[in-house]
């Protein structure tokens, strides 16, 4: 197991989601939701399955569901229904106060800003990290010589 920072994992999962074909905003939300899912003790298998379903799957529904629920006026309490761990992660990643009223009902207090407490570290198996890294690598581009010559530090004597 590797002790990771939460931002490391979120960044990696965001890239992995993009590598699986998710739109940029979906990928970002996926990264946030997936980390919160893992913080709450969710299994990495949940994350693997959601990544495999991209660019479709429940993640697309989540975005529309949140969009439509958030149309209520500030001060409202919106109740979202859902029972899978990734959805719970999505709810926890929202910047509002949330309250689980039952296993499937999450109340979101619009206008009451609150961050869900998070652990200091996540312990992730190196095999899981490697899988996500491989998906993320689908978005990487070999650097061209032209680009390399234009990068920071390029074209100078470094011992000046």
Partner 1 sequence: MKNFVAPDQVPLRPPSQVMRLSRMGSMFPTRLSFLRSLIRLLTEEQVKVTRPVWDMCKDGFGRAVYSMDLGGHTYSLVAISTDLPPEMRTDRVIAEAWDSAYVLYDGVPDLAELDRITANAPRQEAGRYTERDLVLSRANKSVRLFAHVTECLRSGQQPDTKMIRDVGYLMRTTAVYGNGKFGIADRSLIEDRPGLEGPFAAEMLTVWLIRNFTHDLAEHVGGAPLERDLKRHLGVGNSTGLGMAPFLVNHPVLLNNWMLVRETALARVRAIVRLDLTDQQRLLDLADRATLHLAQWSVPDPKHQSRIERLRLDWVEVVDMLAEKLKQANPLDEIIKNTGHHSQDVQELLVSLLIEPFGDLVDALAHCMGNPIGRIPSFVADTDGLRKILQSHFAWAIDTDFTAPQECHQFWYVSEAKQEPRLGERFTEDGADLESPLDIARRIGALYHALPAKSKSVAEFLIDAPEHGLAIERAQLAARYPYGEIQDNLIGAGCLPIDMLRCKLSFFGASKFDPKSDRWTRITLCQGAPLVDELNDEADDWWLPVFGS
| Residue ranges binding partner 1 (CB under 8 A) | 3-8, 11, 15, 23-26, 55, 60-61, 63-65, 67-68, 70-71, 95, 113, 115, 118, 120-121, 137-144, 146-147, 150-156, 158-160
Rounded CA separation 73/24 (Å): 27
d(CA 62, CA 116): 19
Nearest distance from residue 111's CB to partner 1, in Å? 9
Q: CB within 8 A of 116, min separation 6: which ones? A: 36, 39, 92, 93, 98
Instruction: Give min distance, CB of 139 to partner 1, in A.
Output: 5
Find the shortest distance in angstroms from Cβ 148 to partner 1: 8
Find the DSSP H helices in 99-138.
126-136
* Closest by CA position to 17, among listed 52, 62, 58: 52
Compare residues 26 and 88 and give the one whose CB is closer to partner 1: 26
Q: Measured from the CB atom, is 101 or 115 closer to partner 1? A: 115
């Amino acid at each position: 197991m590797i002790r990771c920072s939460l931002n490391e994992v979120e960044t990696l999962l965001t890239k992995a989601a993009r590598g699986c074909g998710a739109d940029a905003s979906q990928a970002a939300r996926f990264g946030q939701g997936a980390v919160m899912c893992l913080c709450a003790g969710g299994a990495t298998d949940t994350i693997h399955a959601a990544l495999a379903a991209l660019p479709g799957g429940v993640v697309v529904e989540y975005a529309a569901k949140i969009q439509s629920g958030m149309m209520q006026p500030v001060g409202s309490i919106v109740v979202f229904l859902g029972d899978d761990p990734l959805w719970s992660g999505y709810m926890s990643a929202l910047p509002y106060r949330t309250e689980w009223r039952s296993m499937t009902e999450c109340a979101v207090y619009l206008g009451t800003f609150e961050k869900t407490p998070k652990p200091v570290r996540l312990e992730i198996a190196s095999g899981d990290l490697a899988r996500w890294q491989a998906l993320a690598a689908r978005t990487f581009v070999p650097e061209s010589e032209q680009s390399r010559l234009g990068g920071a530090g390029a074209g100078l004597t470094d011992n000046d």
